[in-house]
């Protein structure tokens, strides 16, 4: 299949992946309304065309926590990335590093921290969940420090997991899941060879490292379910603030009051996010939530935003609405599943090209020039 647009990767990934994996990434929670709105509301943000402004020199570069980024984009933490391509976290981290942007490793990655950090020159970011087992949290934070991680992304919008009904339908979870997954893998030989056979071990690398025994995919959902902690509050984050010297970003903020609390807590950044519509269905899209949050805390900490970013124009929209950097989740997973590192590299090239066109035609020579003024206020 010919890939010419970033969104072409979704269809290509659908062909290549066993359905349980495609739907695990593609799906959201409950009726998936927030998932759809993330994409639609963002695409509905109108850009303000400006012309004849000599746009011959243009820079997408930006700086975040003392790091140079070639463009205001980072790869979001995505659990089980290593099931989408052989040692998928390593491949995606390589593509991000070559492009000059950060890669964020999920707590529940297939490849452990040391494997990914050891494969790239640029320090990776690490994402941590708040878990009941504080021993595990300390253990991974120590591993992250040893591996040279500086930036910690602390995800707080999962005190309980949201219901993802697609997973039960697709065989990712539920009765007969294991048998259905084996059958689906057998019918997708490219994936079965690349990842099923050659991408082993398929376990949660960081968890196995802590437990000293393999934590198979089979245990994944159960482990997550047992370990998420509904008792979490800002107080619980204090020891991490003390333990962690580097920048700390709180991921999963959707309300200006929580954003102000993050400032009071002393966070270096927030990710305005609804977890890609995978947690509470019915919460606003980030496109709707971001402007009020930016009004409340812009300048007090760095604002990152995700959920619904599918192309370079969406990044420009997020930045113009007040984000300093956008994270991309599913978009890079589809590219990784289709053609590994080269797929992610190609996707990032496409993002950059699209951003350049959007900046040229909105009269923004630098990322700082992208503001509310780059948008049209009325729906288009
Ligand atoms: C398959 C999948 C797994 C994810 N795993 C994690 C995770 O382990 N930790 C986390 O903080 N967010 C996780 N997320 C959420 C992403 O970091 C990000 O917020 C989301 O994908 C953004 O929405 P988008 O996919 O529409 O770009 C996951 C998302 C997907 C699609």
Check residues 249 and 214 and name the one with the higher pLDDT: 249
Give the model confidence (pLDDT) of 224-268 as tens digits.
778 888 888 999 889 998 899 999 999 999 999 999 999 999 999
Which atom number of ligand 1 is nearest to the Cα of residue 104?
A: 17
Give the model confidence (pLDDT) of 11-39 as tens digits.
999 999 999 999 999 999 999 999 999 99
On whether the CB atoms of residues 375 and 317 are closer than 8 A, the answer is: yes
- Distance of CA 345 from the midpoint of ligand 1 (Å): 19
Say how many C-beta atoms besides its own lie within 10 A of residue 361's C-beta. Answer: 17
Q: Give the bridge partners for 103, in sequence order.
A: 75
**Residue 213, class by beta-carbon neighbours within 10 Å (0-12 exposed, 13-18 middle, 19+ buried)?**
exposed
Mutating to test ligand 1, I would choose from 37, 80, 278, 315 the residue with most ligand atoms within 8 A of its C-beta, which is 278
Among the options 23, 139, 202, 275, which is catalytic? 275
Which atom number of ligand 1 is nearest to the Cα of residue 108?
A: 8
Give the model confidence (pLDDT) of 328-343 as tens digits.
999 999 999 999 999 9
* Percent residues over pLDDT 90 in the chain: 88
202 catalytic, yes or no? no
Give the model confidence (pLDDT) of 136-164 as tens digits.
999 999 999 999 999 999 999 999 989 99
Using alpha carbons only, give the angle 93, 112, 106 rounded to the nearest 5 degrees.
Answer: 60
- The DSSP-derived string for 129-161 is E-BS-HHHHHHHHHHHHHTT---EEEE-S-SSP
Question: 251: part of which helix (H) or strand (E)?
Answer: strand 248-253
Q: Which residue has the tokens 């040391």?
A: 114
Which atom number of ligand 1 is nearest to the Cα of residue 109?
A: 8
Quick one: average pLDDT of 352-361?
Answer: 98
Which atom number of ligand 1 is nearest to the Cα of residue 39?
A: 26
Say how many C-beta atoms besides its own lie within 10 A of residue 348's C-beta. Answer: 26
Check residues 377 and 193 and name the one with the higher pLDDT: 193
Angle between helices 19-26 and 8-16 (to 10 degrees): 150
Coil/strand/helix, residue 67:
strand
Q: Positive or negative, the Cα torsion across 169, 171, 176, 179?
A: positive
| Ligand 1 contacts CB of residue 76 (under 6 A) | yes
- Distance of CA 329 from the midpoint of ligand 1 (Å): 5
| Ligand 1 contacts CB of residue 328 (under 6 A) | yes
Cα atoms found within 13 Å of the Cα of residue 256, Cβ hemisphere only: 12
Q: Is the pLDDT of residue 188 over 90?
A: yes
Residue 223 pLDDT level (bands cut at 50, 70, 90): confident
Q: Is the pLDDT of residue 379 over 70?
A: no
On whether the CB atoms of residues 110 and 81 are closer than 8 A, the answer is: yes
- Lookup: tokens for 361: 């035609």
Q: Is the pLDDT of residue 380 over 70?
A: no
Mutating to test ligand 1, I would choose from 127, 329, 331 the residue with most ligand atoms within 8 A of its C-beta, which is 329
Largest distance between two CA atoms of the chain: 63
Coil/strand/helix, residue 171:
coil
- Distance of CA 80 from the midpoint of ligand 1 (Å): 10
Q: What is the mean pLDDT of the chain?
A: 95
- Lookup: tokens for 35: 């998932």
- Distance of CA 106 from the midpoint of ligand 1 (Å): 9
| Ligand 1 contacts CB of residue 276 (under 6 A) | yes
| Ligand 1 contacts CB of residue 108 (under 6 A) | yes
| Ligand 1 contacts CB of residue 24 (under 6 A) | yes
Closest CA to 79 of 28, 129, 18, 9: 129
pLDDT at 344: 99
- Lookup: tokens for 163: 């219901």
Which atom number of ligand 1 is nearest to the Cα of residue 157?
A: 11
């Amino acid at each position: 299949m010919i890939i010419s647009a970033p969104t072409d990767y979704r269809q290509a990934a659908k062909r290549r992946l066993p359905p349980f994996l495609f739907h695990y990434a593609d799906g959201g929670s409950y009726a998936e309304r927030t998932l759809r709105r993330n994409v639609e509301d963002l695409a509905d943000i109108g850009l303000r065309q400006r012309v004849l402004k000599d746009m011959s020199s243009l820079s997408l570069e930006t700086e975040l926590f003392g790091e140079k980024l070639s463009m205001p984009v980072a790869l979001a933490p995505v659990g089980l990335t290593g099931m989408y391509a052989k040692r998928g976290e390593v491949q995606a981290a390589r593509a991000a590093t070559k492009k000059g942007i950060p890669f964020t490793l999920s707590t529940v990655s297939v490849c452990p921290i040391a494997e990914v950090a050891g494969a790239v020159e640029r320090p990776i970011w690490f994402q941590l969940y708040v878990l009941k087992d504080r021993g595990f949290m300390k253990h991974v934070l120590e591993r992250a420090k040893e591996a040279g991680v500086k930036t910690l992304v602390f995800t707080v919008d999962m005190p309980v997991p949201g219901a993802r009904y697609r997973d039960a339908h697709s065989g990712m979870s539920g009765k007969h899941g294991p048998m259905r997954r084996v059958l689906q893998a057998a019918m997708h030989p490219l994936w079965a060879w690349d990842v099923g056979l050659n991408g082993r071990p398929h376990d949660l690398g960081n968890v196995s490292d802590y437990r000293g025994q393999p934590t198979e995919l089979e245990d994944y959902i159960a482990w997550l379910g047992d370990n998420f902690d509904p008792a979490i509050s800002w107080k619980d984050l204090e020891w991490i603030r003390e333990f962690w010297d580097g920048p700390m970003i709180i991921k999963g903020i959707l309300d200006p009051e929580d954003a102000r609390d993050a400032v009071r807590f002393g966070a270096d950044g927030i990710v305005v996010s609804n977890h890609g519509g995978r947690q509470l269905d019915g919460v606003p899209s980030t496109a709707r939530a971001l402007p009020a949050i930016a009004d409340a805390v812009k300048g007090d900490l760095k604002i990152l935003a995700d959920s619904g970013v599918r192309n370079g124009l969406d990044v420009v929209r997020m930045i113009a609405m007040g984000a300093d950097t956008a994270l991309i989740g599913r978009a890079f997973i589809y590219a990784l599943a289709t053609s590994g590192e080269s797929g992610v590299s190609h996707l990032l090239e496409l993002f950059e090209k699209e951003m350049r066109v959007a900046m040229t035609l909105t009269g923004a020579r630098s990322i700082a020039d992208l503001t509310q003024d780059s948008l049209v206020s009325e729906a288009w």
